[in-house]
Structure 1
């Protein structure tokens, strides 16, 4: 895969290249290698902890690894850094829903929809929660 080769090359030139780490981590997520993705996102966050998308992506990796509490913590950090991060609000809401914390899930889904009203998956999740009450 050319994109992975490009990231590896960029990192061979500069191991602290946050963009290359983030891109490679995203490639690993798409390839269903959450462990490798997690390592890249952790390194990127250690270099630039103020980027919301890095915390979001690490949250996705934790989610893929079945580590819900760590995923929630990272989604929360992404939201703290970027309060209008609709995808982070949705994903955190979904984690809360899976844990049976309906009120928190509804609050996050509603917040995500205030930011981005056309999120179909969020609309479906919220409707499903409301119908199950």
Structure 2
């Protein structure tokens, strides 16, 4: 036996019958990804999820439901509303507007969806779309003074003075003490007169 063999320390062996795993195997096992859990089933309850539900799950569930060709209009409209709300939470506003457009085609009496879409178009700066929504809302709610006044201001901004004047007049017929509408109407009438088209400054009494 050589000197080097004599000086070598004896190798320890496990006496419990178990094999020692290499350190690399242990570390790899610790950091290995966990098995993917089965995805929760998605259906009407998920599509109509609460505010706490993940928007992605709501969109996916509604997508699946809306893909069915024979869905009744009432259910389809509800799922479109739910998906629109999820899109809003994801800040995907044009997609939300598109879904609410479909809702209006399915249910042209749905005022809350029109109001929601008008708010989105206001945020997106879509003036023409906002005017269209306000017009639809006024058809559903003829005495909605706020909608009439806002549409009047939008018409004025677009240079459509006669329509703006008509909307401010409609506001005053419903609320004669509406100071902002009175001021706008007077200023518009004077501007129209300067342009050569005489318009009366008085407004008809409220019917």
Shorter-normalised TM range: 0.5 to 0.7
- Residue 150 (structure 2) pairs with residue 91 (structure 1): yes
After superposition, what is the alpha-carbon deviation per residue over 1:6-42, rounded to whole angstroms, capped at 9, x for unaligned? 69588858764279549838x949x986425413422
In structure 2, C-alpha distance between the alignment counterparts of 1:7 and 1:130, rounded to whole Å: 51
- Residue 113 (structure 2) pairs with residue 54 (structure 1): yes
Q: How far has the Cα of 1:98 moved from its partner?
A: 0.9
Match of 1:5 in 2: 52
SS at match of 2:159: coil
In structure 1, C-alpha distance between the alignment counterparts of 2:119 and 2:170, rounded to whole Å: 19
Larger mean CA deviation between 3-12 and 80-89 belongs to: 3-12
In structure 2, C-alpha distance between the alignment counterparts of 1:124 and 1:21, rounded to whole Å: 37
Q: What runs of 5+ residues in structure 2 fail to find an aligned partner?
A: 1-49, 63-74, 192-207
Larger radius of gyration: 2
In structure 2, C-alpha distance between the alignment counterparts of 1:131 and 1:17, rounded to whole Å: 44
SS at match of 1:17: helix
After superposition, what is the alpha-carbon deviation per residue over 1:82-114, rounded to whole angstroms, capped at 9, x for unaligned? 222222212211210110122211221232343
In the superposition, the TM-score normalised over structure 1's length comes to 0.61
Larger mean CA deviation between 12-21 and 107-116 belongs to: 12-21
**How many residues get paired?**
127
In the superposition, the TM-score normalised over structure 2's length comes to 0.44
- Residue 98 (structure 2) pairs with residue 39 (structure 1): yes
Q: How far has the Cα of 1:79 moved from its partner?
A: 1.6
In structure 1, C-alpha distance between the alignment counterparts of 2:170 and 2:187, rounded to whole Å: 19
